[in-house]
Structure 1
Amino acid sequence: MNSFADIVIHNARVMTQQPGAPEADWIAVSGRTVSALGLGSAARHIGPQTRVVDAGGATVLPGLNDAHLHLFAGGLSLSQLSLVGVSGQTDFRAAVAAYRASRPGLSFLAASGCDYRILGQTPLDRHALDAICPDIPMLVMAADYHTAWANTAALQLAGIAQGADVGEGSEIVLDAGGRASGELREFAAIDSVRACNPAAKTHSRAAQAPLELPEVTEAERAADKEVLWQALLHCATQGLTAVQNMDGSLYQLDLLAELDRDRGLPVRVRMPFQITEGMSPEALAQAARWRRSYATPMLRCDFVKIFADGVIESGTANLVADYAHLPGHSGAPLLCDDHLRALVVEADRLGFQIAVHCVGDGAVRQVLDAFEVARRQNGWREARHRIEHIELVDAGDLGRFARWGVVASTQPTHVPEAGEGYLDLIGTQRSSAAFAVADLRDAGAEIVFSTDWPIAPLSPFLTLEAALARPDWPGARDHRVGLAAALGAITRAAAWIAFDEAERGRLTPGMLADLTLLDRDLSVCPLSEIATTTARLTICDGQVTHDTISPLSRA
């Protein structure tokens, strides 16, 4: 029997994430699995057809995982105007002008990554946008995607120039004269304009009705598949072999299933069934059908996603105490306690993992209460329920994560530099409760890292740097983590939270061949250079999906 490997990577620092055997010099891949790894020579695994890669001393990791991102929005952002780092009227105007000059005939300008204070103390509204882009509709997404701003042309195109009722939890903000100011808070308000963007309209419709397949033309479907395909390829270039796509729409599932069948996904994708406003616990029977229908090695739909609140910056996060800048206002839950508990109990009874968006400490407490009720009613199981973001957590709730087996899913790149602007909203007295990763770890919570792309850049190496080099905040403890813990949070823990720890997240013989070769040795890399790390080679399910050594074409 031929024992030669398909691929051997040698002269490497293989960080296995396997307790007791943490490192190796080489690793061999045969078919879909890791066939061997070790120290010294790999010569006996090399045959005439074996591809041999000299790593040059660089690090090999288990395939990198992003446990929370948004594929379609991320794919769209690749071609949108990026406002990341843009500050001030002059730079804003120049960025828009350069973008439009590169796209003659543009009929709708979509921008993303906008700082809430892009114009300093001047509020961003339709008048400010009209001064920059008066002639075509323009929609600008805040970096957190929970607020957007539209110019007058976009508001008129959407038919909301005089405002409109978009349901509880969302708001088309009105000016003193009773007209739409241009500020749009939360998804229903944002989608009223986003649905008018030709590139995003089907995604917007699918988000508003996630249980339905929208009527689309063949051209629209092909364009949407290409957006997803480019997003997946971008994931592979970052060294990612698995992602958890938090957009739980049937349309996206259907498109991804078609890509999986026809082209083969370059990255493993896990998706949720998303609970939307007014959905009853009985609707979760549909989630069980999706779980059965979408279950391949590369695409699964096997957990439930719920939104419990919004974000701090727009005042829509649910806090225990009032916002510092808004006395008398602490936000509000998106779901009342009884409704949330009914949904959580039923999803848990059906055997689903539940992921809940919670930014404020009030939302975190409400959801922990719901998880406790589910445990008491349904009994104990290793459900690995998870709370996403956790920007604020009350000290009294820290121990409840471990007690009820709840995972803390956090994004290191979301932490504002030294609390800039953020502390003005929550108050310096709550500095110690913000982004409290060290407190959560000390309390025994399992931690997983992710990016929330496109809210933050997709690079896992920016995530590593943010976790390792987090600056101190006034009045807060040191929340930095070490390299081993940070790597574990984007490899082993990210596989574990997907219930895949028996097959991936570690590099040992028999595990799936999901691995990433970097361009340097992370163990000796200066902290200041970690963010510039890149993936040289990405292998998913034994297939090379990204290759800067011998470039591939996956067009």
Structure 2
Amino acid sequence: MDLPADIIIVNGSLITFDPATEGASALAIRGEKIAAIGSDAQMRVLAGPDTRIIDAGQATVMPGFIDSHVHLFCGSVELGYLDLHGVTGLAALKAAVAPYSDETPEDAILFAVQADYAILHADKTPTRQELDSVCPDRPFAMFAPDHHTVWANTAALERAGILHGGETAAGCDIVMGDDGLATGELREPGAYAAVLALTRHGGRDLAGLISGKDPVPTPNATDRARDKAALARGMHHCAAQGITGLQCMDGNFYQLELLSEMETEGTLLCRISVPFHLRPEDPLDRLSEAATMARTYTGDMVYSGTVKMFVDGVIEGRTALMLQPYPDTTDTYGDPVFSADHFNAACTAIDAMGLQIAVHAIGDAGVRRTLDAYQTARETNGARDSRHRIEHLETMHPDDIPRLASLGAVASIQPGHAPFGGIFPAGGVGKYLHPHQIPHAYPWTQLRDSGAAVIFSTDWPVIGVDVMTNIKAAIAPLDLGPDWVDQTQSLMQTLASYTRDNAWVEFRDHQKGRLAPGMLADVVLLSHDLTRLAPAQITEASAQLTICNGRITYQAQ
């Protein structure tokens, strides 16, 4: 190397995911790339007078984490809203809301997040009247953790213009009461969009999810500055977890414009991919916008090339699409978001364009419908290395598990979503499943054993973007008894699915996801040697130093 290194990390326990660099203890970074990897002595000779030398203290040094399923804009914005995680009961909800209301007098609507489906009752969801008692003097609404349901009080429903109901997109529902008025429960984005439009960001943070289009009206300079400030906070939060890459699962041109501006301004702390979101009401000619996104945004920091779709909803809201009715019902199968013909045609068209597909599919029928569409696309267009993804796969028919590998499809999984992940209530999902569905629910191990590619993520802000909490969900899951299959993952499987494999799924494994000379300098130094921690104690570890593109983006104090 002709010039000295900018940064050298020594005395590390390196996890490289590269056979040629296994056993190394040090690495050198020059500019945006890893210049060399080897022993401490070999790296120290590459130092110059201005080189920063960092002693890792024999802790883990590894590729920066890549979260392959996030909603960055939404997650960033929600860092500023009232967090109701763990709040249970009417009294506790009132106690949480009252001071927050006092702190935010200028907000048009008091908005909260992470409200559990059973926040007020074990067997039913909140009503607008109950939320009226929680917040009697102003509009109030709260998001479920999965972001598929909003509950709103009467004032919020009135302000949004949906107290008396309204038209919604397919698979969405403004639940109506016997009195002819909305109950307060708004299922899926097409039902709650009017409420989100009242928030301090005007719903712009979810415009790419709800409509797949840019915000209307066009954000002014003040709004753009507010949105970029939120994104900057969100990326700092991610960098503090050791994250160097984020794959967004909602998007529009507006988000790409903001992120590109931030890259120019020097405030972009993570590499970010943004998809085009195709909605069920969209004609297929809208896919020309996806092609434009993919052609326009091709950098190493901000890029596109994926089309995101939803095929169903969520289990707890009984909107995930099932092969048979939900327990205790005779005709509730969930809500298909697309018609089968439209969905198949969309997948075939996207595949023919050479773009990647990512589909939210949670119910066993939703997963099957997605696999059927991928098979149709392959039979029509011919086989290629598409790396089409299925997001979540929370319930599967056993016949469909081997189909992913045969179709070259990728299982995109969020360990913290599972009832045995230790984040959501352990009994929350099982009551919505038939006994025969449980052995094939959250089938991480069965999918790996079938030969399918498996990648890990959080779906932030559905759960926190915290890496170690999600890793613990995978390597130290709760034991829910004999009805549930043990889905424990090994540490190395999990770390690979969070780094190397997440780089692979976005066709950038030649650039990142491994520690090797010539790779982009995306590196995290942790506080512990992860291999020496018991699985249940993995959350004792935290990021001490995060480097993205050769730049230190986070350093613990």
> One fold, TM greater than 0.5?
yes
Match in the other structure for 2:455? 448
Query: 2:356 is matched by which residue type in structure 1?
Result: Q
Specify whether residues 52 and 204 from structure 1 end up closer, same or farther in structure 2 by C-alpha distance, changes over 3 A only: closer
Which deviates further from its counterpart, 230-239 or 14-23? 14-23
Amino acid at match of 1:224: D
Same amino acid, percent of matched pairs: 39
Identify the residue that residue 242 of structure 1 maps to in structure 2.
Answer: 245
| Correspondence for 2:125 | 123
Cα deviation for residue 55 of structure 1 reads 1.0
From 524, 547, 550, give the equivalent of 2:555.
547
* Secondary structure class of the residue paired with 1:24: coil
Question: Equivalent of 2:256, from 250, 253, 256?
Answer: 253
Per the TM alignment, residue 408 of structure 1 is displaced from its structure 2 partner at its CA by 0.1
Report deviation, 1:429: 2.5
Closer, same or farther in 2 for the Cα pair 1:73/1:532, shift >3 Å?
farther
Change (3 A) 1:123 1:357: closer
Secondary structure in 2 matching 1:23? coil
2:399 to 374, 396, 400: 396
Q: How far apart, CA to CA, are the structure 2 residues paired with 1:201 and 1:185?
A: 16
Counterpart Cα distance in 2 of 1:302 and 1:524: 39
Question: For the structure 1 residues 246 and 419, does the alpha-carbon distance in structure 2 shift closer, same or farther, using more than 3 Å as the test?
Answer: same
Q: Secondary structure at the match of 2:402?
A: helix
Shift of 1:424: 0.9
Deviation at 1:208, TM superposition (A): 4.3
In structure 2, what is the Cα distance between the partners aligned to 1:444 and 1:206?
A: 33
Query: Residue 194 of structure 1: CA displacement?
Result: 0.9
* Pick aligned residue for 1:190 from 170, 192, 201: 192
Deviation at 1:505, TM superposition (A): 0.3
Q: Within 2, Cα distance between the matches of 1:408 and 1:174?
A: 36
Indicate yes or no: 2:70 matched with 1:69.
yes
Q: 1:106 to 1:331 in 2, by over 3 A?
A: closer
Query: 2:300 maps to what in 1?
Result: 297
Amino acid at match of 1:400: R
Q: Which residue of 2 aligns with 1:142?
A: 144
- Which residue pairs with 1:39 in the alignment? 39
Aligned partner (choices 434, 439, 442) of residue 432 of structure 1: 439
**Aligned-partner Cα distance in 2 for 1:7–1:444:** 39
Provide the rounded CA distance (Å) in 2 between the counterparts of 1:112 and 1:120.
17
Contact kept, 8 Å, 1:344 with 1:354, in 2: the verdict is: yes
Distance in 2 between residues matched to 1:98 and 1:528, nearest whole Å: 35
SS in 1 for 2:304: strand
Between the aligned partners of 2:263 and 2:141, the Cα distance in structure 1 is: 32
Letter in 2 for 1:136: R
In 2, are the aligned partners of 1:213 and 1:250 still within 8 Å (CA)? no
Inter-partner Cα distance in structure 2 for 1:195 and 1:304: 24
Q: Letter of the 2:220 partner, please give it.
A: T
CA contact (8 A) 2:361 2:393 kept: yes
CA distance in 2, matches of 1:164, 1:370: 32
Q: Deviations over 1:247-277 (max 9, x none)?
A: 1212211211221222352100001111012
Give 1:361's match in structure 2, choosing from 358, 364, 381.
364
Query: What residue is the counterpart of 2:318 in the other structure?
Result: 315
Which residue, 352, 355, 359 being the options, matches 2:355?
Answer: 352
The match for 2:55 is 54
1:503 aligns with 2:511: yes
How many angstroms apart in 2 are the aligned matches of 1:211 and 1:4?
Answer: 47
SS in 1 for 2:54: strand
- Aligned pairs for 1:103-252 (under 5 A) are 103-121=104-122, 123-205=125-207, 207-212=209-214, 214=216, 215-252=218-255
Q: Alignment partner of 2:132: what SS?
A: helix
Following superposition, the deviation at residue 105 of structure 1 comes to 4.7
Q: Which amino acid aligns with 2:137?
A: D
CA shift at 1:536, angstroms? 0.9
Distance 1:265 1:198 in 2: 23
Quote the Cα distance in structure 2 between the aligned partners of 1:452 and 1:79: 18
Tell me if the contact between 1:358 and 1:389 (Cα under 8 Å) persists in the aligned partners. yes
Deviation at 1:315, TM superposition (A): 0.8
Bigger mean CA offset, 401-410 vs 524-533: 524-533
CA distance in 1, matches of 2:207, 2:5: 47
Alpha-carbon separation, structure 1, partners of 2:504 and 2:361 = 21
Deviations 1:487-531 (A, max 9, x none): 000000000001011110000111110010111110101223212
TM-score by length of 1: 0.96
Deviations 1:9-58 (A, max 9, x none): 11111110113543321111111111111134232122211101111111
Give SS of 1:363's match: helix
Aligned to 1:523: 531
Higher deviation after alignment, 189-198 or 365-374:
189-198
Contact kept in structure 2, 1:17 and 1:507, CA below 8 Å = yes
Which residue identity lines up with residue 147 of structure 1 in the other structure?
Answer: T
Separation in 1 of the partners of 2:159 and 2:209? 20
2:484 alignment counterpart: 476
Per mean C-alpha deviation after superposition, the further-off stretch among 263-272 and 18-27 is: 18-27
Instruction: Give the length in aligned residue pairs.
Output: 549
Equivalents in 2 of 1:326, 1:484: separation in Å? Answer: 42
8 A Cα contact 2:70 2:458, kept in partner: yes
TM-score of the superposed pair, with normalisation by structure 2: 0.96
Q: CA deviation at 1:205?
A: 4.7
Return the alpha-carbon distance in structure 2 between the equivalents of residues 533 and 342 of structure 1.
46
Contact conserved, 1:210 with 1:251, CA < 8 A, in 2? Answer: no
C-alpha distance in structure 2 between counterparts of 1:206 and 1:499, whole Å: 23
Asked whether the 8 Å contact 2:8–2:44 carries over to 1, the reply is no
CA deviations 1:392-429 (Å, max 9, x no partner) are 01100011000000000000000114841311111232
Deviates most, 322-331 or 333-342: 322-331
The residue matched to 1:156 in structure 2 has which SS? helix
Deviates more, 1:140-149 or 1:54-63: 54-63
- CA–CA separation in structure 1 for the residues paired with 2:211 and 2:312: 19
TM-fit CA distance, 1:150 = 0.3
**Alignment CA distance shift 1:362-1:263 (3 Å):** same
